[in-house]
Amino acid sequence: MTKRLEGKVAAITGGNQGIGLGIAERFIQEGAAVSICYLSDKTGTEKTVEGLRRGGGKAVAIQADVSKLADGQRFISETVSQLGELDILVNNAGVEKRASFWDVTEADFDFVLNVNLKGLFFMTQAFVRYAMQTKRAGKIINISSVHEELPFPHFTSYCASKGALKMITRNLSIELAPLGLTINNIAPGAIETPINKNLLNDPVKLKSLLENIPLKRLGNPRDVASIAAFLAADESSYVTGTTFVVDGGLTWNYEEQ
């Protein structure tokens, strides 16, 4: 396999689990060095990083709460000081809270929006400032969701954050193009990851979800990582401002009997 990311450095938020970890593994196979950030699980993340290094890959873990602007800036600057440079930012960290609209609390709203939207916004700003200072081209990849388009009742704060990502990506594709920076979203559908653990442990809910997916299976992080590798590599250099849906057909599933 030709290694498409040889010599590149990628920072992946929430790269210690789920889709973020799948992307970290794939980027390392493609020759990149990666930094992942984690919120609190130091021991678990150190084990994960050992796994990433096993095949000779270069990986570091940095503690950061992406919902805090200063932590986001530190994640970018520590990545550069530990790995020498930075070419690719993957905004993967995301959270969701289920509640009927009338029961949503201010704390849960802030939690979801601060991680998924504010955190991503300022992490991206820190990356762009670094790229400007060092006059380097770069790639930004946001892990959005099919719910940047598709309604998801009882997850309105989550949908609001993902809808916002769609507009951030469109806006920044124009504003950042003169700097040689591209930005794209990946919109996963139902992927087997920790964010889905309640659903995965509920056979009735799982069955009804699978009935909505034309390809009749959940996705796995590798399905998302292959698109991320394409978007991180030079071969996607003419692609910016768009969303790649990875959902087994879920979004447009409609049939009349």
Shortest reach from residue 148's CB to ligand BGC, in Å: 9
Nearer of residues 152 and 230 to ligand BGC, judged by Cβ: 152
Q: Does 190 bind ligand BGC (CB under 6 A)?
A: yes
Q: How far is the CB of 158 from ligand BGC (least distance, A)?
A: 7
Q: How far is the CB of 173 from ligand BGC (least distance, A)?
A: 22
Is 247 in contact with 18 (CB distance < 8 Å)?
Answer: no
Among 67, 147, 165, 246, binds ligand BGC (CB under 6 A): 147
SS3 at position 230: helix
Cα–Cα distances in Å, from 47 out to 50, 51, 112, 124, 216? Answer: 5, 6, 27, 27, 33
Question: In angstroms, what is the minimal distance from the CB of 118 to ligand BGC?
Answer: 18
Report if residue 166 touches ligand BGC, rule: CB under 6 A. Answer: no
Please pick, from the candidates 142, 145, 161, 236, the single residue that binds ligand BGC as defined by CB under 6 A: 145
* 161 lies in the site for ligand BGC, by CB under 6 A: no
Nearer to ligand BGC, 62 or 245 (CB): 245
Choices 35-43, 60-68, 108-116, 143-151; region in contact with ligand BGC by CB under 6 A: 143-151
- Find the part of the chain contacting ligand BGC (CB under 6 A) among 52-60, 101-109, 142-150, 221-229: 142-150
Give the separation between CA 174 and CA 1, rounded to whole angstroms: 33
Is residue 213 within 8 Å of 250, Cβ to Cβ? yes
Structure-block tokens of residue 70: 């200063």
CB of 175 to ligand BGC, least distance (A): 26
Residue 61 has a CB neighbour count (10 Å cut-off) of: 24
C-alpha to C-alpha distance for 171 and 167, rounded to whole angstroms: 6
Return the range that interacts with ligand BGC (CB under 6 A); candidates 13-21, 56-64, 105-113, 189-197.
189-197
CA-based nearest residue to 213, from 186, 187, 251, 257: 251
Active site residue 158: yes
> Beta strands 181-188 and 138-143: pairing type?
parallel
* Contact between 223 and ligand BGC per CB under 6 A: no
For 216, other C-beta atoms within 10 Å of its C-beta total: 10
Residues found near ligand BGC in the complex (CB under 6 A)? 96, 145-147, 152, 189-190, 195-196, 199
